[in-house]
Amino acid sequence: MVSLRHNGGGLVDVGEKSADRLLRSGQFRRVVQAPVVPEPEFDDSSAQLVTAEDEQEPVEAPEVVEEALNAEPPSEDTPEPTVAEIRAWARENTDLNVPARGKLPDAAREAYKNAH
């Protein structure tokens, strides 16, 4: 058996012949299994108790992180965009094929979310 990962993220186990065919299609890549390494046994006879006095001084967070932590949460009054709004935005701002009716592609929703 060979483990393959689809470019979309799914994992499949197939035989050698099927694996060769799927790898040639370009839609899959081989998953290399890392060898299982047993964890070493822990001898706690030499363990030391760490107290608060032993801890290091806290490191200041960068300004960007501080700003994010102090930012106000998004308003709950902001309504979610309608499918029609996302559809119109995606047609004007992306190269995605967005149908006039029917299910809105996930890529259009994601692009709208990333832009707003």
> What's the token pair of residue 98?
């967005």
Average pLDDT over residues 88-116: 90
> What's the token pair of residue 8?
């979309």
Q: Sheet harboring 28-30: ordered strands across?
A: 11-14, 2-6, 28-30
Q: What is the pTM of this model?
A: 0.35
pLDDT at 30: 81
Distance CA 45, CA 50 (A): 15
H helix runs in the chain, sequence order: 16-25, 63-70, 83-93, 106-115
Distance CA 4, CA 73 (A): 41
Lowest-pLDDT range of 40-44, 53-57, 96-100: 53-57
Break the chain into its structural domains and give their ranges: 1-34, 80-116
pLDDT at 35: 64
DSSP characters over 48-64: ----GGGSPPPPPPPHH
pLDDT tens-digit readout, 51-96: 666 566 655 555 656 666 666 666 666 678 889 999 999 999 998 9
Q: Note whether 47 and 78 are within 8 A (CB).
A: no
pLDDT tens-digit readout, 2-40: 787 787 777 788 888 888 888 888 887 887 766 667 776
